[in-house]
Structure 1
Amino acid sequence: MTSKDANIRILVVDDHPMLREGLCGMIAGQPDMTLVAEAETGEQALRAYRTHTPDITLMDVQMPGMNGIDAITAIRAEFPTARIIVLTTYKGDAQALRAIKAGASGYLLKSMLRKELVETIRGVHAGRRRIAADIAAELAEHVADDELTAREREVLSRVAAGNANKEVAAQMGISEETVKTHMKNVLTKLSARDRTHAVVVAMRRGIIDL
């Protein structure tokens, strides 16, 4: 049995109490792991990290306020060696790429937690990168795609919220022609047939969320 001091110290971040409870239960059942703190928002995660400096942080992506990717960026800005494993419901390659660029060391679908969480924690703690096979396949499929610019993502998000080009133009303080140009680029980059298809593709890949 490993001593408590030598255990992998873990911070759990998720806004769903039931999932946090499940994660904490899994950690409690491992002789080489110790739960040091829980958080339900990105802001709480940053404060908890400063207080406890855990070995591993399990980070949800979709949270109110500061989301998981912003929290990873903030934590890594202060603690460049932080080892963070993203937990998500979404297979989207764009979201995965943003998390990895922000500094995530692991990326797991929540549907895989029971089978893969414990070994992923041990692997990342040992200095390895762990990305679920489904996610790696999505990343490989889109590796040569042109990324949407921040402006294109914003236009598409507003379109997804049900706004016509004229309304998007007014909201963003740009011309309707510029909105049309951005949408034309979006359709090309996403290989989408029309606006609705572009929204569906972008949401599936984690490029935007509503």
Structure 2
Amino acid sequence: MLNETKLDAASERLRRAIQGDRESLETLLPSYIGYLKVLSRTQLDKRIQHRVSPSDLVQETLLEAHRDFAKFQGTTIEEFTGWLRRILVHNLAQAVGTHMLAAKRDVRREQVIENFSGAIDRSHLRLSALLFDRRRTPASEADHQESLTRMANALETLPSDYRQVIVLRHLDGLPFRLVAERMQRTPGAARMLWLRAIEQLRLTMAINS
């Protein structure tokens, strides 16, 4: 677990940003790069990845969050994280509307937004499950949120096959049989890769804590 100073850091930056400290906002937003990129990877259609990348979506999301921060109505890190997810959902829907849907203003676009919103929230919950601690109480939710962003940032530093197996297994929620098919490995090899990836993720988080 993070120590008390780190536990309060993100919440303090958010509090100061709400009070008008732009420097605090500019420090807070980059800490979400890995988190938003991980979520983007789970939802960005492979048919348009040559036109728009997870990095593009994250950059646009953070730019919009910086520009529109005055519209944020919450006060907690959990609410801020949810607000960033909603911006990401709209950017994902915009990418699909631009590159895949002929009519951007029809019912299909509304359905795309609804589907993305549900899928992103499920991925968030699955990512959170990697940090699940039975001793965690509501009072430590801010700590959990900050640990979540640290873990996502660590995940982004892993070798691509390690990152992919964790995303497929945990964020997409696939059984090892389907993970193996996606990665063109045997189920046994996929499981061993997953074990090594999880260990490397834990080690990376420990080094960066």
Could you state the TM-score of these two structures normalised by the residue count of structure 2?
A: 0.29
Higher share of residues assigned strand = 1
Could you say which structure has the greater relative contact order, defined with CA pairs below 8 angstroms and 6 or more residues apart? 2
